[in-house]
Amino acid sequence: MNDSHLHLVANHLPIVGVLVGFLVLISGYIIKNHQVKNTSLGIFVFSALTSIASFNTGEGAAEIVGDFSGVSETLLHNHEEYAELFFTTIVILGGVSLAALFLHYKKSKYTKYGFSIVLLFAMASTIISKYVGLSGGVIRHTEIRHDADMIHLDADNDSDDN
């Protein structure tokens, strides 16, 4: 297996994980259940850890597919930019989730603030995950490139970059 294979395996985990964690967190708020909210924190920590593998295989994957016909440097660059932003937010989310777990188990009066910060980073990470996933998908999936204009990708210059 090379970095491209590993990237394809790993990259879905943080994207799906942050969405599932966000939905679990919202459910925990709705039903007012701390165990459900704590479960979301574990999901966020797992997603942050899997993002490390995804992020660290991205450069190698880009080198491999960069020479493929129909692969644009612009699309690769845009995906890299979104990936850096997503990686930063999800790693912070993982750290804040660990802190919120610690506060909860210490029965701190600041626990609710920890969960509020987690909620904010979870929302941001979930939104950014959509862009990193789509910008990665358009690199090789030409059938979805018409949607790329919505995320400010320069699909018109694909033929100029090859």
Give the domain CATH number at 81.
1.20.120
Q: What integer pLDDT is reported at residue 13 of this predicted model?
A: 94
81 vs 10 pLDDT, higher one: 81
pLDDT single digits (tens) 16-67: 999 999 999 999 999 999 999 999 999 999 999 999 999 888 777 777 777 7
59 vs 80 pLDDT, higher one: 80
Helices 34-65 and 12-31, axial angle in degrees (round to 10): 160
pLDDT of residue 162 exceeding 60, the answer is no
- Give Cα 3 distance to the centre of its chain: 18
SS (H, E, C) the chain: CCHHHHHHHHCHHHHHHHHHHHHHHHHHHHHCCHHHHHHHHHHHHHHHHHHHHHHHHHHHHHHHHCCCCCCCHHHHHHHHHHHHHHHHHHHHHHHHHHHHHHHHHCCCCCHHHHHHHHHHHHHHHHHHHHHHHHHHHHHHCHHHHHHHHHHCCCHHHHHHHC
pLDDT single digits (tens) 106-156: 999 999 999 999 999 999 999 999 999 888 877 776 666 664 454 454 444
Buried b (16+ CB within 10 A) or exposed e, 72-109: bebbbebbbebbeebbebbbebbebbbebbebbeeeee
pLDDT of residue 10 exceeding 50, the answer is yes
Q: What integer pLDDT is reported at residue 144 of this predicted model?
A: 63
Q: What integer pLDDT is reported at residue 143 of this predicted model?
A: 66
The number of folded domains in the chain is 1
State how far the alpha carbon of 52 is from the alpha carbons of 27, 43, 47, 133, in Å: 27, 15, 9, 15
Domain range enclosing 82? 3-161
pLDDT of residue 160 exceeding 70, the answer is no
Q: What integer pLDDT is reported at residue 43 of this predicted model?
A: 98
Cβ atoms of 132 and 47 closer than 8 Å: no
